Each structure stands twice: as C-alpha cells, then as structure tokens.
Amino acid sequence: MSITKICCIGAGYVGGPTMAVIAKQCPHIRVTVVDLNEARIAAWNDSDVTKIPVYEPGLSEVVAEARGRNLFFSTDVDGAIDEAEMVFISVNTPTKTYGAGKGQAADLKWIELCARQIARVSTTDKIVVEKSTLPVRTASTLKDILSHTGSGASFQILSNPEFLAEGTAVDDLLRPDRVLIGGDQSEEGRAAIGSLVEVYANWVPRERILTTNVWSSELSKLTANAFLAQRVSSINSLSELCEHTEADVSEVSRAIGTDSRIGPKFLKASVGFGGSCFQKDILNLVYIARTYGLQEVADYWEQVIIMNDHQKRRFAGRIIRTLYNTVNGKKIAFLGWAFKKDTNDTRESAAIYVADHLLLEQAELSVYDPKVPVQQVYTDLDYLATRSSDENKSLLKVVNDPYEACRDAHAVAVLTEWDEFRDYDWQRIYDNMLKPAHVFDGRNILDRAKLEAIGFKVKAIGS
C-alpha cells in the first residue's frame, strides 16, 4: 500500500521535526501534525518560521519549504485521523509520578487516549505507528484497544522509534544511521512494514532501514539510550577519580577514545546528562527488569542514574566549597540553561538541579542562555517545588546579555556547551567580576590556560 496521507498526533520535539522532514522529502504525501495545544499549533503556523516552538539548526528552513504545500499543523485531531492512512503517535510518555511504578515506569495515559481516539474516529483501515518511546510490549496494549473499541476498521501496529539527538535532529533525520521498523510477522504485518519502508526509502538507503518484530524494535530504543547514558556516567565517574589524582579526564577520554573498540563519542566529562529521554528510558528499563524479577539487571542500570545525580550534586558542592564554604548572598552567573547546545529544550537539564542546590544555600543566580525563554527558566525551578515561585524570582534573575550576567559575580558556571561561550571577551568578563574570580567549567569547553592567564581561578570537571 502506497501511503499518500499521514497524520501525526503530537507536535513536540519529535513529532514536529520528524513530520517536517518526511513532508520535505516526500512532496507526494500530505502530512498533518495535530495537537490539542492551540498555542503550540499557532506557533508552528507562525508566518515567521524562526518562531516555531522547537529550535533545531535547519528546522525552520525545512518547515518553510514544506508548510502549506504538503505539511500542515492543525488542532482538528479527529479530522486528520479520519483522513489518514497512517497515524503516528508522538505524544509524551513521562515517568509516572503516582501509583504503581511511581518514579520509574512510563506513564502511558496519553498513549491510551490516542488509541481510543483513533479507534473512535477511524472508519477505514489504518497503520498506527508508535513514534513515542514506549515500554516493550506496549504494541499489544494498543492492538487490544484498537481491536475492541473501534467501529470495525482493521489496524496494524508498527514500532518506529526515533534516534534523534537534539541539536542535530534535522541532520539525523536526513542522514540517519538507521531507521528501525518493527511489526507483526504476519502477512498483514509485513505489508504494513513495507508501506512505512516505502516512505523512508524516498531518501534513506534501503540497507539502512532495519526491520524486526515489534518487541525487538520497542526494546532497541530503550537499550540505545541506556548504552549512551552509561558512557556519560562512566566518564563522569572517572572525572571524580581524576580530581583526586594527577590525571586529566580530558586526556584519559582521548586516550581510551582512540581505541576502535570504544570510540570517542559520549566520552566528554560534564555535569551530567539531561534531556527528555536518557533518564526516563533508563528508569523504564529498570522498572521492566524489576517487574520480571531481574534484580541484578535493574540494579546495574539504576547505577547509571545514581552516578548522574551524584555528578550534579558534586558540581554544586564544589562551587560552594571553592567559594569558602558559603554562597549566601554571593552572585553566581550561569552560562547556559538548556541541557545541551543547539536546542531550547531544558528537560532534566543539569543546570536546573545545580541551580536548585545553590539556591537552597541562598546564592543569587544570574542566568543567560541564547535560546531558552525567561519564563521557561522559572517554570523549570517551580516544577521542583523546592521553594515558592516568588522566592525563585527573588534569588534568580534571567538576563539577555552574558556580560551583564557575569557583572559583579563571584563566579561563572558554564552549564551548557554553547559554541559562542568560547568566543566571549573573557578579559572583559574578568575585569567586571569580584575578585578572586572563579570559572567552573562544567562542560570542559573553555581554554583553561588562557583563562588562568587572565587571572581566573578555574575549576573544570576532572581537574
């Protein structure tokens, strides 16, 4: 079956960019992205494409090319589902904050609601594609709901997990390492897999399109994120050891990264990993393992999270110790709030937790990030519910100029590896700070020797 109409439920960080690229590469397919959030859809439809709600290098150009031609954003969820031959589900699956599995299991509320809506609206057969990151065997839940609550339409369930890195999402979509598609191994299931393969084959070489059973596909996404996060926690654990010896974690990382069996990626010491996927997916993996009674497996993967949390607390503690064991009333500038460069996504950003720890010690923070809106910073802190919103606003100020953020500060903490930070006039920053002036490079991106030549006292991860 050749697909001509696609609907995607969810206009967030995955759904929006993925559908924009599919529309760009497949002008013969009508792609409609739907969401109940009217403000979000309005932002995707803004005549100024630089104001779309997801910042990714190159994304606004992709949207500008396809929007209005064969890419549409709408709040008419029912209408888009009814017209589509293939429906992608790309809604949030956060970690549960209540009930059984609280703090570890994925909350599938929105997935179930999507399935029920698809079943209610559909009058023709459809292929339903899991794009959200889901626990293994979620497809069976979807199939059960779609098969027993619909109006007689037939459904095939596919798993097509995303492997996007925020900051490079457009390039990842245009030139993916692989596209993974899992489905039933029945005749109908293989036909559905073939339909989705045909969509991606418009620009992805066939040898990079992998097909599996649906369970393998679901588990592969969790496993991929777990392995990447494991590498980050591994190098971060060694960064602490380096600080107690005469080793340099950057040199250690370079030395082991040249081993072809290991490779250099995800071996850069930092304050810790963030983003919407790594922590959520590992906790989900831990929960699944415990559900099957695999305690040793669960304990192994949980340690990745424990080390990540430890690294964030350790970084904040190092700032306090270096500033003579008190930051009460001291101004500390934060450069970066997003969890990584080239994105405005702040979910689980290390900066949030480092800030929270310092605010508990009554530090006064001044935050600058090139892409994160002011209100998002306060929303992130308020979500932790450690202090009242008024207290957060009294102790933390968000500014739109990095030099203003650093003026009269006791210390600067680099929390995101934005490239622009390297090019700042650090002599000017030093001249306008209180002395001694400290730099805490939590991302190891600045030239330590040059900073120390200016007069800064520099503390970097692993040094």
Adjacent-strand bridge partners of 457:
438
Does the predicted model carry a pTM greater than 0.85? yes
Alpha-carbon distance 304 to 283, whole Å? 10
- d(CA 239, CA 463) in angstroms, rounded, equals 8
Q: Which residues of the chain have pLDDT under 70?
A: 105, 133-139, 150
* Residue with token string 């393969």: 197
- Tokens found for residue 30: 């009508």
In this prediction, residue 150 carries a pLDDT of 65
Please give the structure tokens belonging to residue 205: 């070489």
Instruction: Give the pLDDT of residue 218.
Output: 84
Residues known to be catalytic: 162, 221, 277
> How far is 289 from 343, CA to CA, in rounded Å?
32
| Cα-based angle 12, 201, 171 (whole degrees, multiple of 5) | 45
C-alpha 158/C-alpha 192 separation (Å) is: 8
Query: Structure tokens of 350?
Result: 């290390």
Confidence (pLDDT) at 362: 97
Question: What is the residue type of 214?
Answer: V
- Distances 215 to 155, 222, 247, 298 between C-alpha atoms, Å: 17, 11, 44, 19
Residue 157: helix, strand or coil by DSSP?
strand
pLDDT attached to residue 107: 75
Q: How far apart are CA 124 and CA 452, in angstroms?
A: 68
Reported as a single tens digit per residue, the pLDDT across 135-190 is 656 667 788 888 777 677 899 999 999 999 889 999 999 999 999 999 999 999 99
Measured in whole angstroms, the distance separating CA 60 from the mean position of its chain's CA atoms is 19
How many helices (DSSP H) and strands (DSSP E) are in the chain?
Answer: 18, 14
Q: Cα–Cα distance between 450 and 424 in angstroms, integer?
A: 12
